[in-house]
């Protein structure tokens, strides 16, 4: 019998794709991190490259405010550039539209794109429109810049590193997934002042993304369920599994913890920064929980 996409989890699908791709000159980081990194040793800055899509009835519904959909489409990619320690630059927006879509939807969508672009200093460099017989499909490709010494990967974590998350987690589907704040200012401050060993943004939920960061860093991890910062009215399971938080997940040298926490409270008094666990030697890993984050290809439950 033929194997189908749904039988493999998302990570396995991605690994299957990555395995077959050849390496390339100047490509410092290829598929598998939040962004690709292009540049040479000695360059003053490296380029970050990111592509990301949102699909009607997967990431938003037709009745959602198109302005918020536009905001989300661009801010998801900005969040990935931020998580590498970078600054976003130029965006290309592809949008595939059903023929019966109202023109006002398109206008609203671009109003949201423009709003996010202005807020975070992104220039819309180009795009592509097509019709589709299926759901509305949006792809955003985004370039960014990062100073080599500020470039943070998923893979730099070390056993003993303290694991932090920004903000509060869980319940994003109630609406926050459409107007979250990408942590660009916070990430930029972090890499300049407390260079994390590893960092990524939380898109699929702590329960999926923490194991990814740990694995990329060849570490295990342990974490304290009770420590996880939850949004009002959300359970710990929701905070671990809901996804689309777009908060930062970072691994920091334990010697920096006290200074980091104090400086953060002064700089960002309204946004919590919470230590939720630590990276450990790989053999001692235990699965965080039966609760999993979002997996695009997991069998329906």
Closest CA to 244 of 168, 301, 173, 141: 173
CB proximity list for 301: less than 8 A, separation 6 or greater: none
**Residue number with CB closer to a copy of itself (30 or 272):** 30
Residue 146 engages a copy of itself in binding (rule: CB under 8 A): no
4 binds a copy of itself (CB under 8 A): yes
The contact mask relative to a copy of itself for 240-259 (x = CB under 8 A, - = no) is: --------------------
- Asked if 14 touches a copy of itself (CB under 8 A), the answer is yes
Contact in structure between 148 and 46 (CB atoms under 8 Å) = yes
If one asks whether residue 200 binds a copy of itself (CB under 8 A), the answer comes out as no
Phi, psi of 67 (to 5 degrees): -65, -40
Tell me the site size for a copy of itself, rule CB under 8 A: 75
Count of positions (residues) in the chain: 301
Nearest distance in Å: CB 257, a copy of itself = 32
Segment interacting with a copy of itself (CB under 8 A) among 112-120, 166-174, 208-216, 260-268: 112-120
Kindly state the smallest distance separating residue 107's Cβ from a copy of itself, in Å. 8
> Which residue in the set 118, 149, 266, 270 belongs to the binding site for a copy of itself (CB under 8 A)?
118
Q: Taking CB under 8 A as the rule, does residue 8 contact a copy of itself?
A: yes
Question: Minimal CA–CA distance to 91: which of 142, 52, 51, 54?
Answer: 142
The residue among 33 and 245 lying less far from a copy of itself, judged by its C-beta, is 33
* Angle in degrees, CA 15, 20, 25, rounded to 5: 105
Contacts of 164 (CB under 8 A, 6+ apart): 248, 249, 250, 251, 252, 260, 273, 274, 275, 276
Return the number of the residue (153 or 162) whose C-beta is nearest a copy of itself: 153
Question: CB of residue 109 vs a copy of itself: minimum separation in angstroms?
Answer: 9
**Does 285 help bind a copy of itself (rule: CB under 8 A)?**
no
Q: Which of 61, 62, 123, 262 binds a copy of itself (CB under 8 A)?
A: 123
Interacting positions 154-173 with a copy of itself (CB under 8 A)? none
Residue 193: in which H helix or E strand, if any?
helix 184-193
The answer to the question of residue 101 lying near a copy of itself (CB under 8 A) is: yes
Nearest distance in Å: CB 161, a copy of itself: 25
Which residues from 170-189 bind a copy of itself, rule CB under 8 A? Answer: none
Binder among 40, 61, 62, 107 for a copy of itself (CB under 8 A)? 107
What is d(CA 263, CA 265) in angstroms, rounded to the nearest whole number? 6
Using alpha carbons, select from 234, 163, 225 the residue that is nearest to residue 198.
163
Task: Give residues 53-82 in contact with a copy of itself (rule: CB under 8 A).
Answer: 53, 55, 57-58
- Measured CA distances, 199 to 51, 135, 151, 301 (Å): 18, 33, 10, 30
Lay out the site mask for a copy of itself across 36-55 (x = CB under 8 A, - = otherwise). Answer: x-x----------xxxxx-x
The answer to whether the CB of 9 falls within 8 A of the CB of 15 is: no
Q: Which residues contact 159 (CB under 8 A, 6 or more apart)?
A: 219, 220, 279, 280, 281
């Amino acid at each position: 019998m033929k194997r189908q996409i749904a039988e493999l989890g998302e990570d396995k699908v991605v690994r299957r794709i990555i395995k077959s791709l050849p390496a390339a000159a100047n490509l410092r980081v290829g598929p598998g991190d939040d962004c690709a990194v292009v540049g040479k040793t000695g360059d003053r800055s490296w380029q970050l490259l990111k592509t990301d899509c949102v699909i009607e009835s997967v990431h938003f519904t037709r009745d959602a405010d198109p302005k918020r959909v536009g905001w989300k489409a661009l801010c998801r990619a900005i969040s990935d550039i931020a998580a590498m320690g970078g600054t976003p630059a130029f965006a290309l927006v592809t949008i595939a539209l059903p023929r019966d879509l109202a023109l006002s939807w398109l206008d609203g969508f671009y109003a949201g794109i423009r709003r996010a672009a202005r807020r975070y200093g992104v220039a819309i460099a180009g795009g592509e429109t097509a019709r589709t017989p299926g759901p509305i499909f949006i792809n955003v490709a985004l370039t960014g810049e990062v100073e080599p010494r500020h470039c943070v990967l998923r893979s730099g974590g070390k056993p003993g590193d303290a694991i932090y998350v920004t903000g509060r987690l869980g319940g994003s589907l109630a609406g926050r997934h459409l107007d979250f704040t990408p942590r660009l200012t916070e990430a930029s401050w972090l890499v300049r002042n407390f260079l994390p060993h590893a960092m990524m943004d939380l898109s699929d939920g702590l329960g999926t993304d923490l194991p990814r960061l740990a694995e990329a860093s060849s570490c295990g991890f342990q974490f304290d369920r009770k420590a996880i910062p939850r949004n009002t009215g959300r359970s710990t399971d929701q905070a671990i599994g809901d996804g689309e938080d777009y908060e930062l997940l970072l691994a920091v040298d334990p010697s920096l913890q006290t200074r980091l926490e104090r400086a953060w409270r002064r700089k960002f008094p309204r946004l919590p920064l919470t230590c939720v666990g630590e990276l450990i030697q790989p053999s001692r890993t235990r699965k965080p929980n039966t609760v999993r984050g979002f997996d695009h290809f997991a069998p329906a439950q």
